[in-house]
Structure 1
Amino acid sequence: MRPTNLDEVVGQQDLVGPGKIIRRMVQAKRLRSMILYGPPGIGKTSIASAIAGSTKYHLRILNAATDTKKDLQIVAEEGRMSGTVILLLDEIHRLDKTKQDFLLPHLESGRIILIGATTENPYINISPAIRSRTQIFALHPLSPDDIISALHRALTDKEKGLGQYPVVISDDTLGVLAHGAHGDLRTALNTLELAVLSTTPDPQDKQIHITDQVIVDSGARPPIAGDKNGDAHYDTISAFQKSIRGSDTDAALHYLAVLIASGDLPSIMRRLLVIAYEDVGLANMPAAARTVAAVQAADRLGLPEGRIPLANAVIELCLSPKSNSGMAAIDAALADVHAGKGQHIPDTLKDAHYQGAKDLGHGTDYKYPHAYPGDWVAQQYLPDDIKTAQYYTPKRNGKFETALAEQYARLRQAGPHGH
């Protein structure tokens, strides 16, 4: 079911849809080397295949970790003979320096159009020499609707898919499969194929009936809360956060258990980090730090063992004092920025580390706080049009933020605009 042109690519329409960058490059015949990164099974190889099919260039697929420099030399020779060849290099973050040095001149000449595929952040894990010669595109997990569309296509395609089999499967059951794949189309297609090939046709109507249970037995994650359209998954995550925010420990543990049973560890970890900083925040900053440690431990352990640090974090967050003042403060500051306020930084704060800065009046009247008693001196930091703005409204639900609130009040009172 690998696509042969861009119209067959499932999802990623922000890159391959009409008028979007990859489609424009193909249509203009101005292909550039690129790096595609994102989770497994979301279309990195498919996009490379579609680009090759749309441009009629030869596509060669190698793995940066397991294939040798000799394999790269063969591709380079093919590029020299035919003019251009597209090389999909999987796990490009594992490309060693010898192979990289061999590739670079061929990328410069245009004989090889490199499409690197990686699950790792290329800004961290790929060398600057490769990065500077490539466009970097982030791919996203596919939506359940995207996956259902691809499954329908596989079920009706008699040449490349499962269209030659008399399969009977409801849209609800396809929804179970799509939501259980968590954005990974490869997993969904593999599960569907196993379900079809391992199910005996009904002796009466000679058709292959695929039920929810067959899909689950074939490896799909079971639906949570009995909801086949996936709404329950997002409802559970919402109830999970609201239970912690409302300090109901037992309810929060219940929804955590539902999410663990669904196997969706990434959603649990991400939501716990949000809760720690959004809902507990400055009322108990050590709890936020411990939540980060618990999430990292769960990530390393995986499930089922990861449930233990997750449970510890949930219990502490539930029983902790709550404060959303940090989120409210940055949202208030953002509102002013989006409204165009505060664009003129005071001259005293501007960079003065270059010749001529003083002639412009930059930094000349700046008072260095460490030169004053208590390492503090009253001076204006905000731009003139918002110089009296107050974004932070402290809460006093915990000892830590109560101390912050008192210090904040003292500094505002003693500051240049204090009363």
Structure 2
Amino acid sequence: MQQPLAYRMRPTKIEEVVGQQDLVGPGKIINRMVQAKMLSSMILYGPPGTGKTSIASAIAGSTKYAFRVLNAATDTKKDLQIVAEEAKMSGTVVLLLDEIHRLDKTKQDFLLPLLEKGTIILIGATTENPYININPAIRSRTQIFEVHPLSGSDIKAAVKRALADDKRGLGAYPVDLKADAMDFLATATNGDLRSALNGLELAVKSTPKNADGKIEVTLPVIEECLQRKSLSADKDGDAHYDVISAFQKSIRGSDADAALHYASRIIESGDLVSLIRRLLVIAYEDVGLANPAACERTVMAVNAAKQLGLPEGRIPLANAIIELCLSPKSNSAMTAIDAALSDVKAGNYGDIPQYLKDAHYKGASKLGHGVDYQYPHDFKNDWVKQQYLPDKIKNVQYYHPKDNGKIETALKEQYLRLRHSAGH
């Protein structure tokens, strides 16, 4: 039985990895490890289909080390022992251990000394946060890298490569992939390349040739093979982003009915990931300090929707959407951090005051670090007049509070009172 397209198209060298260029691109950390053949064990965490296995496969291919794949949940200690014996006999083995967050203590205790010696280069893969779900003993012996959903352009590049490859891919098939079908394939899979490639293969192999001898892969064909519907009936390649944009702008404009309409189009497409990601952005970007409690409840609604999935997940999300629409709005926190970032990027900052510098190590006081620092909790109301910004920008104001809602009005009063007391 032939392996799925996503499996066949796994990269054999680091240069073939799609996306994650902050890790595998020229001059980046994993690329440097490969070039120097100085590999260290690592944990890759992120959503499914984002390239964790591909990175491990590419590392092994580029370094010519043996590559083995095990699952921490289903494979046994004996399976690990077989890999360890192979490593002793033939040299270093790169072991991809999927679902590493489910590694039990027996298997962990067996692996630890092998990681210490470098006999096995462990690449753990997980969709769970390793800082919460992976044992500290494993974490301390690995580097942790986060992988992100692939962009639409990443997906398109991988699809084009698969269509052109006549050995591992679909190059032997006379495929005519329509532009709107390609756009939908790139966006509807939410950065999951595995889903995109396997959906493409099903579409190609299940579609008969037309009168011109071509396998015409249209938008309806891709929709059927992915079991997702396009967000817009106009088949516009930008429809995905247009609906997401209209959704945010409707909430920002306090139109609950419009927001629910656009949310429904996203839900009907099956794109829960894009909906909840955008909803979180909206909560903190557009409502923010005007109603922090609504932001917290949005996070709770999103977590509930993740647990429930669709269709039930629509219910907590509807609660959050309506509340955000009808809530007072403020973007003051976003504009404040953007203003601060703009200064930093432009190099518009000075030296940290000496008394604010780290003073916990021996000899710090000789450098003047921490000297004359005033500890606010030693003073009345736990506050003392003291300069915190560098001299160069000591009077700068990034946060400009608004009066939109009781919470930010109260924060504004406190902020202005503190600035006045500090002499600004």
Q: Same fold (TM over 0.5)?
A: yes
Q: What's the counterpart of residue 104 of structure 1?
A: 112
The alignment partner of 1:4 has SS state of coil
Compare 56-65 and 376-385 and name the one that shifted more. Answer: 376-385
CA distance in 2, matches of 1:275, 1:252: 12
Q: What's the counterpart of residue 44 of structure 2?
A: 36
Contact 1:346 1:381 in 2 (8 A): no
Pair 410,6 (structure 1): closer, same or farther in 2 beyond 3 Å: closer
Q: What's the counterpart of residue 138 of structure 2?
A: 130
Pair 342,379 (structure 1): closer, same or farther in 2 beyond 3 Å: farther
Q: What's the counterpart of residue 200 of structure 1?
A: 208
Within the candidate set 84, 94, 99, 1:86 is matched to 94
Q: What's the counterpart of residue 15 of structure 2?
A: 7
Contact 2:190 2:273 in 1 (8 A): no
CA distance in 1, matches of 2:154, 2:390: 50
The alignment partner of 2:232 has SS state of helix
After superposition, residues 166-315 of structure 1 pair within 5 angstroms as 166-202=174-210, 204-226=211-233, 230-315=237-322
Within the candidate set 405, 408, 413, 1:401 is matched to 408
Letter of the 2:263 counterpart: L
Contact 1:179 1:230 in 2 (8 A): no
Residue 381 of structure 1, CA deviation? 4.0
Within the candidate set 155, 163, 170, 2:171 is matched to 163
> CA-atom RMSD, angstroms?
2.9
1:118 equivalenced with 2:119 (yes/no): no
Letter of the 2:242 counterpart: D
Q: What's the counterpart of residue 20 of structure 1?
A: 28
Pair 139,381 (structure 1): closer, same or farther in 2 beyond 3 Å: same
Residue 168 of structure 1, CA deviation? 3.4
Greater Cα radius of gyration, structure 1 or 2: 1
Residue 252 of structure 1, CA deviation? 1.9
Pair 181,384 (structure 1): closer, same or farther in 2 beyond 3 Å: closer
CA distance in 2, matches of 1:406, 1:190: 57
Within the candidate set 139, 144, 158, 1:150 is matched to 158
Contact 2:188 2:271 in 1 (8 A): no
Contact 1:298 1:309 in 2 (8 A): yes
Q: Deviations over 1:27-76 (max 9, x none)?
A: 32222222222211122222222222222222111111111111111111
Pair 335,188 (structure 1): closer, same or farther in 2 beyond 3 Å: closer
Percent identity of equivalent pairs: 67
Q: What's the counterpart of residue 386 of structure 2?
A: 380
Contact 1:93 1:118 in 2 (8 A): yes
The alignment partner of 1:113 has SS state of strand
Within the candidate set 35, 38, 62, 1:54 is matched to 62
Q: Deviations over 1:76-122 (max 9, x none)?
A: 11111111222111111111121111112222222212121111222
Contact 2:180 2:218 in 1 (8 A): no
Contact 1:155 1:167 in 2 (8 A): yes
The alignment partner of 1:223 has SS state of coil
Residue 180 of structure 1, CA deviation? 1.8
Letter of the 2:294 counterpart: A
Compare 250-259 and 329-338 and name the one that shifted more. Answer: 329-338
1:324 equivalenced with 2:331 (yes/no): yes
Q: What's the counterpart of residue 5 of structure 2?
A: none
The alignment partner of 2:132 has SS state of helix
Unaligned runs of 5+ in 1: none
The alignment partner of 2:68 has SS state of strand
The alignment partner of 1:115 has SS state of strand
Q: Deviations over 1:382-419 (max 9, x none)?
A: 34724444443232222232233334444444x1427x
Instruction: Give the number of equivalent residue pairs.
Output: 413
Compare 78-87 and 375-384 and name the one that shifted more. Answer: 375-384
Contact 2:374 2:384 in 1 (8 A): no
CA distance in 2, matches of 1:170, 1:314: 35
CA distance in 1, matches of 2:294, 2:119: 55
Pair 83,402 (structure 1): closer, same or farther in 2 beyond 3 Å: closer
CA distance in 2, matches of 1:332, 1:312: 32
Pair 361,111 (structure 1): closer, same or farther in 2 beyond 3 Å: closer
CA distance in 2, matches of 1:148, 1:220: 19
CA distance in 2, matches of 1:91, 1:65: 7
